Amino acid sequence: MTLEEYLRSLERFVDDAYGRRMRTQFQSSDGASELAMLAAPTRAEYEQCCRLVDIMTAEQKAAAERLSDEQVAALAEQAGVDAALAAIFVNGYAIKKVKFDI
């Protein structure tokens, strides 16, 4: 599975009604539910992931599962996206890639 394929797999769940209900039910005290982004991203979260992937080089995309936290943070800053969201997205991809490569 490529990074672009992983991104496209999230798109079908953007602003999903069931996902919104689950995110509301399990949100933290500050109203955040970042980890749910991997199952049901909001439109804004998905668009941030798209911007992150758009600025990545072919080499970074091909080895996204091996990017360091510092590299992901630098990419997030360059793309103008939330660093935590970028980390969750890249780590989610790494987990999915390991799952499919085994």
The ranges assigned to domains in the chain are: 3-11+42-101
> Which DSSP string do the residues of 34-96 spell out, in sequence order?
GGGGGTS--HHHHHHHHHHHHHS-HHHHHTGGG--HHHHHHHHHHHT--HHHHHHHHHHHHHH
pLDDT 10s digits, 34-57: 566 677 888 999 999 999 999 999
Query: Which pair of tokens denotes residue 34?
Result: 């970042």
- Asked if 89 contacts 32 with a C-beta cutoff of 8 angstroms, the reply is no
Does the predicted TM-score (pTM) go above 0.85?
no
- pLDDT tens-digit map of 67-80: 999 999 999 999 99
